[in-house]
Amino acid sequence: MIKKTQTAVTLTETKDAIKANREKAQADIQQIKEDVSTQKEIITDEVAKVRDEAKQKMDVLKASIQNIKSKAKAKIAEVRITGREEALQRFDTATEKINTLKDSVNTKITKMEAQGINVEQAKAQVVIAEEKIADAKAKIADASTLLSNSTNELSKDSKTQLKQLTLDIQTLVKDSHQALNQAVQSLKGEVQNKIEANKTSTTESTNQ
């Protein structure tokens, strides 16, 4: 009897220890998530600041064109600055569209989670998309800084750098879009799984 009691106590202590470890692990994971979220916000703010500064510099460059005495050179500078602004705007528009799609996917995730549907894989894909979008915005900020330095033609090195930044941005936007599509496909798959599970449950209940 004493041995059984000791065994029961040991099992209880083991369960309590496992529970405590699980709770600590969950708390640690939550803290890591919060730290990562805070870091993301800091980076996002810095990127936005760089982008705004570049826009202001671009406005200054546009105003400085009026000081160019040669009409021909002034026209070339104006066309150059306009082209750069349009290029950056295309990048901004692309990331804005992805953000809109991401918000739409998150709305679906919230609704389906409330219905008891497994949304973990979809959430993971959204996180990947968010990281890609953040990286794309950082690249856009780098490109805007590069393009807002002067009205002069870009140097060979700057052109090479801009070309690489453009390719990186396009790839990141494409990858983020793909991740969101995978999130949607995951949700569709989980909805189908729940439908099949309900069918099986109904069939078993009917047969009993």
Give the pLDDT confidence of 8-45 residue by residue, as tens digits.
Answer: 556 566 666 666 666 765 666 566 556 556 656 666 77
CA dihedral 175, 177, 183, 186 (to 10 degrees): -80
For residue 188, what are the CA distances in angstroms to 123, 174, 181? 13, 21, 11
DSSP code of 67?
A: G
Q: Between 145 and 48, whose confidence is greater?
A: 145
**Residue numbers of the domain that contains 121:** 2-207
Alpha helix segments (H runs only) across 70-155: 71-114, 120-147
Confidence (pLDDT) at 198: 72
DSSP code of 152?
A: S
Q: Distance between CA atoms of 202 and 117, rounded to whole angstroms? A: 18
Please check the confidence at residue 65 and state whether its pLDDT lies above 80: yes
Please check the confidence at residue 206 and state whether its pLDDT lies above 60: no
Residue 140 binned pLDDT confidence (cut-offs 50, 70, 90): very high
Query: Which distant-in-sequence residues (6+ apart) come within 8 Å of 78 by Cβ?
Result: 62, 65
Confidence (pLDDT) at 59: 86
Confidence (pLDDT) at 32: 55
Indicate the average pLDDT of the chain: 82
Confidence (pLDDT) at 45: 74
Long-range CB contacts (within 8 A, 24+) of 188-197: 190/112, 190/117, 190/118, 190/119, 190/121, 190/122, 191/112, 191/117, 193/118, 194/115, 194/116, 194/117
Please check the confidence at residue 106 and state whether its pLDDT lies above 80: yes
pTM: 0.73
For residue 97, what are the CA distances in angstroms to 33, 34, 85, 90, 133? 26, 26, 18, 11, 11
Residue 204 binned pLDDT confidence (cut-offs 50, 70, 90): low
Over residues 148-161, mean pLDDT: 90
Q: Distance between CA atoms of 208 and 55, rounded to whole angstroms? A: 70
What's the structural domain count of the chain? 1
